[in-house]
Structure 1
Amino acid sequence: MVKHVLFVKLKDNSPASCEAVKELFLSMKEHIDFIRELQVGIDYLHSERSYDVVLELVVDSPEDLERYQSNDYHVHKVKSYIHKVRSASATVDYIY
Structure 2
Amino acid sequence: MITHIVMFKLKDRSPESVERTAQVLRDMEGKIEELRYLEVGKDVLHTDRSYDIALVTKFDSLEALNAYQVHPVHQKVIEHMTEVREASVAVDYES
Interval of TM-score (by shorter of Structure 1 and Structure 2): over 0.9
The equivalent of 2:36 in structure 1 is 36
8 Å CA contact 2:6, 2:89 repeated in 1: yes
1:21 Cα offset (Å) = 1.1
2:17 maps to 1:17: yes
Moved more, 28-37 or 6-15: 28-37
Partner of 1:94, secondary structure, is strand
Q: Which amino acid aligns with 1:85?
A: V
The equivalent of 1:87 in structure 2 is 86
Q: Percent identity among equivalent residues?
A: 42
1:8 Cα offset (Å) = 0.2
The alignment yields a C-alpha RMSD, in angstroms, of: 0.7
4+ residue runs over 3 A deviation: none
Larger helix fraction of residues: 1
The equivalent of 2:46 in structure 1 is 46
- For 1:83 and 1:24, how far apart are their aligned partners in 2? 13
1:30 Cα offset (Å) = 2.4
- For 1:45 and 1:7, how far apart are their aligned partners in 2? 14
For structure 2, the 5+ residue unaligned runs are none
